[in-house]
Amino acid sequence: MRVLSGIQPTGNLHLGNYLGAIRNWVKMQDEMASGSQCFFFLADMHSITVHEERAQRLKNVREMAAALIAAGIDPDRSVLFNQARVPAHAELAWLLNGTARIGWLNRMTQFKDKAGKNREGASVGLFVYPVLQAADVLLYQATHVPVGEDQKQHLELTRDIAIKFNTDFGVDLFTLPEPIIPKETARIMSLRDGSAKMSKSDPSDMSRINLTDDDDTIASKVRKAKSDADVLPETYADLAERPEAKNLVGIFSAMTGESTDAICARFAGQGFGALKPALADVLVESLRPIRQRFEALKNDDVALDAILQKGAAKASAAAEPTLRGAYDAVGLMR
Ligand code: TYM
């Protein structure tokens, strides 16, 4: 089993990233059988699709590394690195550009969402972003890729690219990866709008809970989260038409391990004035230790760089046979 996943180091690690992906990364790392390996990386090469000042980008990469370690990624057990330190990602992405089809990329909903109405003004990098993502996965022969729901389409494309490459060049080079998407927390929604996912790029910081937020900020974001004036029903199924309420109950359940039905039953007949303070307490208590570990690590540039460098060396070595195989299959000498 080869587990691999990545996160863009733009902005903070938020509750959507944590419940949708990172918590599963840690679980898979902790349950890893011997002979299996986990690779987790900061998709800093992907992050160039968002404009950022140099100093800010450097800071973002280190801070996201600190946040992942604080959330439970252990660099001694998992290979933790940043993509830019492993040039094999960019090299394989270029080779795969010969295989991926424009029609396939045109169907990517994330590109449509991010490019918005001004498609002509979007960067080429944003358009070919999923090809680099395919390279990230295929380079390591990953079998399992733990991600949130929004990455499902990119992984389907990864499989299509792998199949076409293997077929076109008559090789059995790339392994087809399986996405691992959590059932209940595949899509955590914004605290301000139950129809939009919680996201780093939402201009309102009130829409998300960052793993770096202090206790008061968390409590205030939960208190001000959009909800509705109705009372909670006996069962979760009765929340079907109430997206904000559903999201808050879902987060509550994900944080405590209690079922969504049990939470509804506990608060049935009461409004969000009762549920919100309890949810705030749960979030504050569970996120505090992560934040404390993050605070202790985030300014230690020397230690963080050493971890990422060491991870990059291991990743480069693991990527080399596949990269060599890809050049060879295409008929390019290096
Ligand atoms: P990114 O940085 O947007 O998000 C990192 C992970 O968090 C998940 N996620 C969510 N899950 C549930 N609810 C949400 N509101 C939510 N928001 C984010 C994402 O699904 C993701 O798993 N393209 C990727 C990074 C990437 C990658 C890869 C992932 C680059 N190469 C190769 C896997 C394999 C991205 O931008 O994720």
Task: Tell whether the model's pLDDT for residue 140 goes beyond 90.
Answer: yes
Mutate to test the pocket of ligand 1, among 24, 147, 180, 184 (most ligand atoms within 8 A of CB): 147
Phi-psi region of 229 (alpha: psi -120 to 50; beta: other; left: phi over 0): alpha
Ligand 1 within 6 A of CB of 145: yes
Q: At what angle do helices 272-297 and 215-224 cross, to 10 degrees?
A: 150
Among 114, 152, 164, 246, the one annotated catalytic: 114
CATH number at residue 265: 1.10.240.10
Mean pLDDT of 290-308: 97
Same domain, 32 and 56: yes
Predicted confidence (pLDDT) at residue 98 exceeds the cutoff of 90: yes
200 is catalytic: yes
* Domain contains 167: yes
Whether ligand 1 lies within 6 angstroms of the CB of 49 is answered as no
Q: Are residues 40 and 108 in the same domain?
A: yes
Does 11 have pLDDT greater than 90?
no
| Ligand 1 in reach of 43 Cβ (< 6 A) | yes
Read out DSSP for 199-218? -TT-S-GGGS-BTT--HHHH
Question: Is the beta carbon of 198 within 6 A of some atom in ligand 1?
Answer: yes
CA–CA dist 331, 213 (Å, integer): 51
Cβ(187) – ligand 1 distance below 6 Å: yes
Whether residues 109 and 249 share a domain: the answer is no
Options 197, 226, 276, 298, the catalytic residue: 197
Residues 48 and 173 in one domain: yes
Ligand 1 atom index nearest CA of 17: 7
- Three-state SS at 241: coil
Which strands, in side-by-side order, build the sheet including 144-146? Answer: 79-82, 37-42, 2-7, 144-146, 178-180
Instruction: Please choose, from the candidates 3, 5, 7, the residue with its C-alpha nearest in 3D space to the C-alpha of residue 29.
Output: 3
Is residue 83 in some structural domain? yes
Q: Is 147 in the pocket of ligand 1 (CB under 6 A)?
A: yes
pLDDT of residue 285: 98
User: For the chain, what is the domain count?
Assistant: 2
User: Does some domain include residue 197?
Assistant: no
Our answer on whether the CB atom of 8 is closer than 6 Å to any ligand 1 atom is: yes
Q: Closest Cα to atom 14, ligand 1: which residue?
A: 16
218 and 315 inside one domain:
no
pLDDT, one tens digit per residue, over 302-319 is 999 999 999 999 999 999
- For residue 314, being part of any structural domain is answered with yes
Count other Cβ atoms within 10 Å, centred on residue 185: 22
Pocket test for ligand 1, best of 150, 156, 159 (most atoms within 8 A of CB): 150
CA distance 266 to 252: 12
Residue nearest to atom 22 of ligand 1 (CA): 147
Active-site option among 164, 200, 310, 314: 200
How distant, in Å, are the alpha carbons of 19, 77, 174, 295 from that of 319? 29, 18, 12, 33
d(CA 311, CA 286): 28
What CATH number should be reported for the domain holding residue 138? Answer: 3.40.50.620
222-264 pLDDT tens trace:
999 999 999 999 999 999 999 999 999 999 999 999 999 999 9
Give the phi and the psi of residue 331 in degrees, each rounded to 5: 90, 40
Q: What is the Å distance from ligand 1's center to 214 Cα?
A: 24
| Phi, psi (deg, nearest 5) at residue 162 | -60, -45
Residue 206 and residue 255 in contact, taking contact as beta carbons nearer than 8 Å:
no
Q: How far from each other are the two terminal CA atoms of the chain, in whole angstroms?
A: 30
Range of the domain at 73: 2-186+300-330
Residue 119 has pLDDT above 90, yes or no: yes
91 and 31, same structural domain? Answer: yes
pLDDT tens, position by position, 15-72: 999 999 999 999 999 998 888 899 999 999 999 998 999 999 999 999 999 999 999 9
Q: Give the whole-angstrom CA distance, residue 57 versus residue 120.
A: 26
Which residues are within 8 A (CB) of 211 and not within 5 positions of it... i.e. 6 or more apart? 12, 13, 14, 15, 18, 67, 70, 71, 287, 290, 291, 294
- Cβ of 63 closer than 6 Å to ligand 1, yes or no, is no
pLDDT, the chain, mean: 97
Query: What is the C-alpha separation between 317 and 286, in angstroms, rounded?
Result: 37
Please report whether residue 191 resides in a domain: no
Q: Are residues 33 and 152 in the same domain?
A: yes
Whether 298 is catalytic: no
Distance of CA 280 to the CA centre of its chain: 23
Nearest CA to 123 out of 203, 223, 48 is that of: 48
Identify whether the C-beta of residue 4 lies closer than 8 Å to the C-beta of residue 136. yes
124 in a structural domain: yes
Residues 216, 174 share a domain: no
pLDDT at residue number 77: 96
Nearest to 220 by CA among 258, 276, 299: 276
Question: Is 152 an active-site residue?
Answer: no
Domain assignment present for residue 199? The answer is: no
Instruction: Please tell me if the CB atom of residue 5 comes closer than 6 angstroms to any atom of ligand 1.
Output: yes
Verify that 6 and 114 share a domain, yes or no. yes
Secondary structure (3-state) at 37 = strand
The answer to whether 270 and 263 have CB atoms below 8 angstroms apart is: no
Is residue 12 predicted with pLDDT exceeding 90? no
The pLDDT-based confidence of 218 (bands split at 50, 70, 90) is: very high
